[in-house]
Amino acid sequence: MSIESRSAVGEELDGELASLLEVERFEAPAKFREHALLSDPGVYDHAAADPVGWWEAQAQELEWFQKWTTVLDDSDPPFYKWFTGGTLNVSYNCLDRHVIAGRGDRVAFHWRGEEGEERDLTYAELLSEVERFASALKELGVSAGDVVGIYLPMIPEVVVAMLACARIGAPHNVVFGGFSAEAVRERMEFSEAKVLITVDGAARKGKTAAVKDRVDEVMGDLASLERIVVVKSKGTACQMQEGRDVYYEDILAAADPVCPAEPLDAEHPLYILYTSGSTAKPKGILHTTGGYLTGVAATHRYVFDLKPDSDVYWCAADVGWVTGHSYIVYGPLCNGATSVMWEGAPDYPSKDIWWEIVERYGVTILYCAPTAIRACIKWGAQWPNKHDLSSLRLLGSVGEPINPKAWLWYHKVIGAERCPIVDTWWQTETGAIMISPLPGITATKPGSATQPFPGVFAEVRDESTGEPIEEGQGLLVLTHPWPSMLRTLYKEEERFIETYFKRFGTETYLVGDAARRDRDGYIWVIGRIDDVVNVSGHRLSTAEVESAIVAHTDVAEAAVIGQHDEDSGQAIVAFVTLQGELQGDDSTVEGIRETVAERIGKFARPKRIIWTEDLPKTRSGKIMRRLLRDIADGRALGDVTTLRDPAVMQQLEAQVKELSAREE
């Protein structure tokens, strides 16, 4: 998508409000600044003068079995290496070290189930379960370097599974619980996973969805997959295949309770996480050990101003996304935080469940996505107002641009104008937060992620000349390596270079977002420039959804776009051509939505389906998505002269008008 059409979408968000707020700044209260971990703006200059030294100082905060010999090896860009020669273990840093230091009784997670179940897990308890499960994995034949798939809901065992993998050096490949079993299979196949850890059933707003049985339907013939471990979470009956499937509880009980953390090379792979790119095939983002942990621990400490002795921190994301990896699991545990982990949705059993949780556990730091805030605005302030939210002292936002209206509501209704808001911009690829306020230093502007974190270098580049832009809009790039950066795309090195390092060379990381720099140098991230859509903070590729849609037997061709949406940020709209003389009706729409749910997951189902006899294509046969976006957003059509058949557009416009009238 061109930057121009994106900015039109951005401007629609809050129109005048945005420009009004561009000049207004919000300072943290004096009391907050006084006690903040970082309150001297000099930290930016200090880090900029010696970024490698700054990151080295952050790495010193971790426990190393052996210190590095070189902080940054940049001899072969874009294949950077950090802390070479050093050895450490992520699970040791997240667990053992706190227990050894006498913090074993501290709660790591207050887990809360959908039906009000509660489970507090201390650091000592978590360590003990992780050691056992790590032993059990070894007994199943998993060794360092073997990929382990994890497909679990928001239950404590997902954290145990991740840390147990980290303990023995088996890279995990977590798949978000909202993905379908078929999507899991694909990710297991691409990564050649040896073991998959899943669950009997998962809670979904008062119902239980069978998980293991769905997995069985698609996983049977996957050659690389040797074992399936099943957590008995909901007591759902499921088939267990002799010789392949084992229950988590059984192998845990039989396992050696002692499993020392393996010293691993700083560049040992920690995990693969599949995310969406421009093509239908998801990208396997690879993160390694030392640099990743350095990045997530430092950003978690300073962006959230974490005081582990007194804070109760809650990241309301799902562990299946990178936000969960970095800011539910690795960052908070490495920093010895006490966190809340919530199993369910924000509106079950009722629309005040989040606020009930904040009150009950005395949450001081809340980190969530704008889409959740917009849902809360829609439900009304009466829900949060029923609860005492005075424990909150800092609020965070992640996953998509936060529109000023949502920012202000968050600030007023949830934060009672007392809590600084950190709007954190980053990606699966960056591993850790890259652009964000530091709450004790930065004056914020609603809708702007403000400035790069110390030691991070961002620029906005002109789309055509590639020159840095002082004030104005262009392509966002990161110009220096950072410790938590992705190391490659798993098994796709060429694609790694092509996607991120072709446009501006091997030393400049192309983000894939458009951004604007204002006159004060504040960065405003606008949205993706590639064919990636962001639905409720869930990253999806249009190509992925298209290929799911064409799997429906009636469909001949499909084009998918992201359309601006009040609730979800963007919504998926599909333009579909059916086979031969077929006519689409409500049942075809349902059939297509069902096919997408099966292939990817329910969250990827198109919100609107528009029938068309043909798609707007150039003479060379390329679909012109720009025109589809213009049509869907009701904008005046741009240049249509390059179309093979301009009449297609008139027909489409009429279709969209008719559909809109029906929806109203």
332 and 300 Cβ atoms separated by less than 8 Å: yes
323 binds ligand WTA (CB under 6 A): yes
Residues with Cβ < 8 Å from 71, sequence gap 6 or more? 52, 53, 55, 56, 59, 82, 83
Bridge partners of 210, per DSSP, are 201
Nearer to ligand WTA, 424 or 563 (CB): 424
Nearer to ligand WTA, 233 or 397 (CB): 397
CB of residue 323 to ligand WTA, shortest distance in Å: 5
12 and 564 Cβ atoms separated by less than 8 Å: yes
Among 399, 404, 420, 446, binds ligand WTA (CB under 6 A): 399
Which among 419, 373, 431, 374 has a CA at the least distance from the CA of 394? Answer: 419
In one letter, which amino acid is 77?
A: P
Compute the chain's Rg from CA coordinates. 24
426 binds ligand WTA (CB under 6 A): yes
Contacting ligand WTA within 447-466 (CB under 6 A): 449
CB of residue 524 to ligand WTA, shortest distance in Å: 8
Q: Which stretch binds ligand WTA (CB under 6 A): 170-178, 287-295, 378-386, 396-404?
A: 396-404
CB pairs under 8 A, 24+ apart, for 555-560?
555/579, 555/592, 556/580, 557/615, 559/615, 559/623, 559/625, 559/628, 560/533, 560/606
Among 445, 539, 564, 617, binds ligand WTA (CB under 6 A): 539
User: Whole-angstrom Cα distance, residue 178 to residue 46?
Assistant: 43
423 binds ligand WTA (CB under 6 A): yes
Nearer to ligand WTA, 569 or 584 (CB): 569
DSSP strand pairing (227-231 vs 245-247): parallel
User: Whole-angstrom Cα distance, residue 356 to residue 605?
Assistant: 31
The token pair at 255 is 């396992």
Among 114, 352, 513, 531, binds ligand WTA (CB under 6 A): 513
450 and 424 Cβ atoms separated by less than 8 Å: no
544 binds ligand WTA (CB under 6 A): no
Q: Which stretch binds ligand WTA (CB under 6 A): 163-171, 395-403, 409-417, 549-557?
A: 395-403
The token pair at 55 is 């990151």
431 and 326 Cβ atoms separated by less than 8 Å: yes
Nearer to ligand WTA, 138 or 538 (CB): 538
Angle 356-422-28 (CA atoms, 0-180°, nearest 5)?
95
Q: What is the per-residue binding string for ligand WTA in 351-390, x denoting contact by CB under 6 A?
A: ----------------------------------------
Contacting ligand WTA within 247-276 (CB under 6 A): 275
400 binds ligand WTA (CB under 6 A): yes
Binding-site size for ligand WTA (CB under 6 A) equals 22
Nearer to ligand WTA, 121 or 478 (CB): 478
322 binds ligand WTA (CB under 6 A): yes
CB of residue 422 to ligand WTA, shortest distance in Å: 9
Residues with Cβ < 8 Å from 309, sequence gap 6 or more? none
304 binds ligand WTA (CB under 6 A): no
Nearer to ligand WTA, 178 or 401 (CB): 401
Q: Which stretch binds ligand WTA (CB under 6 A): 29-37, 289-297, 522-530, 572-580?
A: 522-530
Among 122, 335, 403, 428, binds ligand WTA (CB under 6 A): 428
288 binds ligand WTA (CB under 6 A): no
Residues with Cβ < 8 Å from 210, sequence gap 6 or more? 200, 201, 236, 238
Check residue 604 and report its DSSP letter. Answer: G
525 binds ligand WTA (CB under 6 A): yes
Map tokens 């952050």 to a residue.
58
Nearer to ligand WTA, 534 or 588 (CB): 534
Map tokens 């997995």 to a residue.
215
Nearer to ligand WTA, 219 or 402 (CB): 402
Nearer to ligand WTA, 136 or 398 (CB): 398
Nearer to ligand WTA, 321 or 603 (CB): 321
424 binds ligand WTA (CB under 6 A): yes
Angle 95-98-104 (CA atoms, 0-180°, nearest 5)?
90
Nearer to ligand WTA, 151 or 425 (CB): 425
596 and 548 Cβ atoms separated by less than 8 Å: yes
- Residue, CB closest to ligand WTA: 428
User: Whole-angstrom Cα distance, residue 22 to residue 49?
Assistant: 29
The token pair at 581 is 């003389």
CB of residue 525 to ligand WTA, shortest distance in Å: 4
CB of residue 540 to ligand WTA, shortest distance in Å: 10
528 binds ligand WTA (CB under 6 A): yes
Among 190, 425, 482, 490, binds ligand WTA (CB under 6 A): 425
Residues with Cβ < 8 Å from 253, sequence gap 6 or more? none
Chain residues in the site for ligand WTA (CB under 6 A): 275, 321-323, 398-401, 423-428, 449, 512-513, 525, 527-528, 534, 539
